[in-house]
Every structure is written in C-alpha cells, then in structure tokens.
Amino acid sequence: MFDGREPIYHQIAEAIRGEVLSGALEEEDQVMSTTQYATTYRINPATAAKAFAQLVDEGVLYKRRGVGMFVAPGAADRLRAERRKAFFTERLDPVIREARLLGLSTEDLTDYLTTHAGSVPAATDTSEEGR
C-alpha cells in the first residue's frame, strides 16, 4: 500500500483524506486505531500516530478520549474546498499559461472542455499519484 516517494505518514494521511472525500468514511465514523494501522500494514505505530496527528491538526479527524479517532463534522466539505482551490492554482493555472504559449484562446479551451468533459471518466483514485 505504501510505495510512493512520500513519507509513509503522508501516504496514510492522504489515504484517509481520500476515504473521507469518496464517502467511504463519513462524518463521525471511527477510523482504525494507530495500533490497528500498524498491525495491518506492518508499520511503526509512531508513523501511524504522526499521520493521525496531522489529520487532527487539519480538522479531518478528532479524538474521543479513551474511545478512538473519528471523522470530524464537515471534514469532507473542508477537504473538497481545499482541493478545489488547489486545483485552480496548482493545476489549471499552469495549463492556462501553456495554452497562452501555444496561442490557444479562452474560446478554444472552453470549446474543448464543453466537447470533451463528459467523455473523460471520473477519477476513483484520490491519492497524490492518482490525482
């Protein structure tokens, strides 16, 4: 599962973010404990704990003392908003710059999007590599 270039704790955090975005994990769902994660994926419990701490800091998860970690209310909406913003600045802006270099107009881009957007399959992989 963890074979990317990113540190394992980043990969764990991204996998959980993806599950929240896809609806596989919903608000108030309990997530695996750090011990369960460590046992299941044969990783150091501190690595899993670091990922969970990052997600708590981001407001994706919260801890119920003595019970475990849960998906925070509004987590999917927050993640979606962050990713939408990043989509425009990190992905679309470079495409627009390249289009200008190639002499493509806004109308060319709009026509292409209108014609082809419905024929491109939706992504199911929300990891860094699959986005």
Tell me the per-residue pLDDT of 24-83, one tens digit each, with 9 for 90 and over: 999 999 999 999 999 998 999 999 999 999 999 999 999 999 999 999 999 999 999 999
For residue 130, is pLDDT > 50? no
Domain containing 45 equals 8-73
Which CATH number covers residue 48?
A: 1.10.10.10
> Are 28 and 68 contained in the same domain?
yes
pLDDT at 124: 55
Give how many domains the chain has, as a whole number: 2
Q: Are 47 and 38 within 8 A, CB to CB? A: yes
- Output the pTM of the full model: 0.75
For residue 4, is pLDDT > 80? no
pLDDT at 113: 87
Token pair 């596989």: residue: 24
Which pair of tokens denotes residue 49? 């704990």
> Are 84 and 99 contained in the same domain?
yes
**What is the CA angle 74-126-22, rounded to 5?**
45
Query: CA 113 from chain center: how many Å?
Result: 24
> Are 115 and 82 contained in the same domain?
yes
Q: Are 15 and 1 within 8 A, CB to CB? A: yes
For residue 109, is pLDDT > 80? yes
Q: How far apart are CA 69 and CA 62, in angstroms?
A: 6
For the chain, give the mean pLDDT. Answer: 89
- 48-86 burial string, b = 16+ CB within 10 Å, else e? bbbbbebbeeeebbeeeeeeebbbbeebbeebeeeeeee
Structure-model confidence comparison of residues 126 and 93, the more confident one:
93
